[in-house]
Chain A
Amino acid sequence: MGLPRYVAARVVWAAVVSLVIVTITFGLMAAAPNPAVQEAATQAALEGGDPEEAVERERELRGLDEPLHVRYADFLRGVYTLNWGWSDLQNRPVSEALSEALFYTAQYSVPWTVLTLLIGPLIGVYSAANMYSWRDHLATGVAFFGYAIPNFFFGIILLLLFGVYLEWIPVVYNTDVAVFSLENARQLAIPVFVLVTGSIGAIMRVSRNESAEFRNADFMKTAKAKGVSPLRAYAYHVMRPTMVPLSTTVVGQLLAIFLGSSLLVEVVFGIPGLGRLTFDALIAQDTNLVLGTTLLFTFVAVVGNLIEDIVFTVLDPRISYDDR
């Protein structure tokens, strides 16, 4: 036993979980009436043809007359080879629409995640080190504010202030600018800021309370007695044990905001990312595209939990890899 085997086992489990999710999705899809078939029947009836025959033809055309296990195998092959069907709304393959949306989503979610993971624990530990001082109260106030205010509302307010009145940032998101350019940074600054304030609060509070426990631990006294400077003591002896419980909450926190808030933020700022795409697909009842976006989010969640599990065990040496 050891870390490599543990990681391998966890990866296998993640694959199993994704398979279960895909299977359930297939089951639901198979059980539900297919809108395309019904549409064909309605069409045939309106044109005076035989609805029965039209349904039969449509089912044959879409392969729905095949036995269930053949359709299931076909579905699985499609999902795992990224052949996710045709989007009527976008008039192109779903995978193509998704990858383009992902390109825009990544532009703000990567800096958002990195900033949250860097700033959150740092402010939390700083807050614990200066507990009950005005700095701690300020940090706590900012955390609660960011946590409490809805992201889309905060986004609208900031857009109004900086975009409309001060005209510092463009009101409409421009997809033509280069990814690594000053203009792009300027138009993404506010969305990233809004999302960071939303996600940082919970992480900051967790790390503050955890490190408050560790800063009074006996090993901090040992570190002090060894002649370790306060900065080093906090950086090594408090930060590291704090990351262990924190790592278990971070992924869930970020995913919740990723799925919920980023959609609204994209709508507010007009970013053609995954959130907007999901929203539009839902409104237009584009089944394939909705399926594609939800599967993508599901896979992100599975991979996120996988990373969380591995990070957790790597950070805390007391957790054994055996029998897991």
Chain B
Amino acid sequence: MSGTDRDPEVEAEADLDAETEATAEGGDEPLLAVEGLRTTFETDAGTLVAVDGIDFTVSEGETVCLVGESGSGKTVATESITRLVDSPPGHIEGRVRFRGHDLLAMDAEAIRSVRGPGIAHVFQNPQDALNHCYTVGWQIVEAIRVHEDVSEAAARARAVELLDRVGIANPSARFDDYPHEFSGGQKQRVMIAVALAGDPDLLVADEPTTALDVTVQARILELLSELQAEFGMGVLFVTHDLGVVAEIADRVVVMYAGKVMERGSVLDVFERPSHPYTRALLSCLPGRGNEVTGIEGSLPDPTAPPEGCRFAPRCEHAIGACRRGEQPPETELTEGHGVSCVFYRDGRDPSVVRGNGNGNGSGDGSDAETKRRDASRNGSRSADASTPGTGGAEGSDGG
């Protein structure tokens, strides 16, 4: 493209950097702070609420996992951050602060300068994420040259370097190959190279390994964690695979039907799962008795969500209070560990949910340690590819 339309972008970026410094001095605001994010779609069946007022943060260099079964709104939530959701029909409300800037209030040009160098995305299905008409090199070079005024040759050199870094053998020769000449895992590596082209501060990885062969999944995860350390990126990782979560997450946000059910450090969530939904998810891990049946019932209709707690219709502990009003506000159990469940409020007894003696294989503190180790082991086992099918919430899909 011409130089004339690049200039404002450069300015916008410079602007961004200046303000970033100001806020960095001002206090310890996280890299990304999502507040009250609500994404709706106008459909023929009415207004579909995909994400309904969620909050979460990602700090520099931190890995946050968004967990939940398919259809929980995880993908829409991540794509709302950089406004990749088409609007119309989509409509995004709330605040998304990235390095002190509200991404939702930016004009189209300013948000474009954030996409890539600020926040980069890796998507679920590498088969379709690359344009079949262009060489992979062209697509990496495009990611570089859209933001930076560098020569074709310099961009090419950097693209080859990136291909090499993400583990594509013989990168300078493969630069001119088309996506269909790569395997699924290699395509995902190329996608990661595209994402890294702008040296992002935050990498949003939306189920990057789901579409891949189990033998390849582990290597991609390994690559991502290496790159995270090397580039110092924050990572927002979407998955329904609890084995992966146990392996890579610093903090976990559990989503269900567009709402946050529970959040906390990976230890909190695996050792002291507090929300019935989190507990149900964990019990779907292999070796926990529930992996065959999954969670009974299915996700509520997103055009007409139920009153009260979204999970109440499927929750075995649900009482009258669960089906009234709004989703219960989050109760902070310990520092950073929150749960949205009525049993932790108004003097009710949380042990009903924590299940001393309910049949679902949930336990108290004493076997919580085993649980995390189990989950972690499931993760690494799937990583070693000795078992097909990873321990995850998949079992609950469409139940």
Question: Knowing that A218-B123, A219-B128 are A-B contacts, what are 10 other residue pairs whose CB atoms are under 8 Å apart, sorted by A's residue number?
Answer: A217-B128, A217-B131, A218-B125, A221-B84, A222-B139, A227-B115, A228-B112, A240-B131, A241-B133, A317-B133
> Which of B30-38, B141-149, B223-231 sits within the interface?
B141-149
Assess whether A315 is interfacial by the CB under 8 Å rule. yes
Contacts of A202-237 to chain B: CB distance below 8 A? 217-219, 221-229, 232, 236-237
- B114 surroundings in chain A (CB, below 8 A): 227
Q: Name which of B117, B135, B180 has the most chain A CB atoms within 10 A of its CB.
A: B180
- B120 surroundings in chain A (CB, below 8 A): 225
Assess whether B5 is interfacial by the CB under 8 Å rule. yes
Q: How far is the CA of A225 from the CA of B113 in the complex (A)?
A: 10
- A226 surroundings in chain B (CB, below 8 A): 115-116, 142-143, 146, 194, 197-198
Nearest B residue to A226 by beta-carbon distance?
Answer: B143
- A219 surroundings in chain B (CB, below 8 A): 128-132
Assess whether B82 is interfacial by the CB under 8 Å rule. yes
- B116 surroundings in chain A (CB, below 8 A): 225-227
**How many residues on chain B are close to A (CB under 8 Å)?**
35
- B143 surroundings in chain A (CB, below 8 A): 226-227
Q: How far is the CA of A224 from the CA of B83 in the complex (A)?
A: 9
Assess whether B121 is interfacial by the CB under 8 Å rule. yes
What are the interface flags for B335-347 relative to A under an 8 Å C-beta threshold, 1 for contact and 0 otherwise? 0000000000000
Size bin of chain A's contact surface? 20 to 34
* A237-B178 CB under 8 A given contacts A226-B142, A227-B113, A227-B198: no
A-side residues, CB < 8 A to B, are 217-219, 221-229, 232, 236-237, 240-241, 244, 315-318
Q: Does B146 lie within 8 Å of A218, measured CB to CB? A: no
- Contacting B5 at CB < 8 Å: which of A218, A221, A229, A237? A229
- Minimum CB–CB distance for B275 against chain A, Å: 31
Closest 5 CB pairs of A and B: A218-B128, A227-B116, A227-B115, A225-B121, A219-B131
Assess whether B1 is interfacial by the CB under 8 Å rule. yes
- A223 surroundings in chain B (CB, below 8 A): 131, 142
- Minimum CB–CB distance for A216 against chain B, Å: 8
Q: Does B115 lie within 8 Å of A225, measured CB to CB? A: yes
- B191 surroundings in chain A (CB, below 8 A): 222
Q: How far is the CA of A316 from the CA of B198 in the complex (A)?
A: 28
Q: SS class of chain B's interface: helix, strand, loop or mixed?
A: loop
Q: Name which of A219, A225, A244, A318 has the most chain B CB atoms within 10 A of its CB.
A: A225
- B113 surroundings in chain A (CB, below 8 A): 227
* A225-B128 CB under 8 A given contacts A317-B178, A317-B180: no
Q: Does A224 lie within 8 Å of B115, measured CB to CB? A: yes
- Contacting A232 at CB < 8 Å: which of B1, B132, B134? B1
Q: How far is the CA of A219 from the CA of B125 in the complex (A)?
A: 10
Nearest A residue to B117 by beta-carbon distance?
Answer: A227
- B115 surroundings in chain A (CB, below 8 A): 224-227
Q: Name which of A219, A232, A315 has the most chain B CB atoms within 10 A of its CB.
A: A219
Q: Does A318 lie within 8 Å of B142, measured CB to CB? A: no
Q: How far is the CA of A227 from the CA of B143 in the complex (A)?
A: 7
Question: Could you jot down 17 A-B contacts, CB within 8 Å?
Answer: A217-B128, A221-B121, A222-B130, A225-B115, A225-B121, A226-B115, A226-B143, A227-B112, A227-B117, A227-B143, A227-B146, A227-B198, A229-B146, A232-B146, A241-B132, A241-B133, A317-B132
Nearest A residue to B118 by beta-carbon distance?
Answer: A227
Q: How far is the CA of A229 from the CA of B146 in the complex (A)?
A: 9
* A318-B128 CB under 8 A given contacts A222-B194, A226-B143, A227-B198: no
- Minimum CB–CB distance for B192 against chain A, Å: 12
Nearest B residue to A216 by beta-carbon distance?
Answer: B86
What are the interface flags for B278-314 relative to A under an 8 Å C-beta threshold, 1 for contact and 0 otherwise? 0000000000000000000000000000000000000
Q: How far is the CA of A223 from the CA of B128 in the complex (A)?
A: 12
- Minimum CB–CB distance for A214 against chain B, Å: 9
Nearest B residue to A229 by beta-carbon distance?
Answer: B112
Q: Does A228 lie within 8 Å of B142, measured CB to CB? A: yes
- A232 surroundings in chain B (CB, below 8 A): 1, 146
Q: How far is the CA of A52 from the CA of B116 in the complex (A)?
A: 90
- Minimum CB–CB distance for A321 against chain B, Å: 13
Q: Does B180 lie within 8 Å of A222, measured CB to CB? A: no
Q: How far is the CA of A173 from the CA of B228 in the complex (A)?
A: 73
Contacts of B135-194 to chain A: CB distance below 8 A? 135, 139, 142-143, 146-147, 178, 180, 191, 194
Nearest B residue to A225 by beta-carbon distance?
Answer: B121
Q: How far is the CA of A182 from the CA of B137 in the complex (A)?
A: 48
Q: How far is the CA of A221 from the CA of B121 in the complex (A)?
A: 9
- Minimum CB–CB distance for A221 against chain B, Å: 6
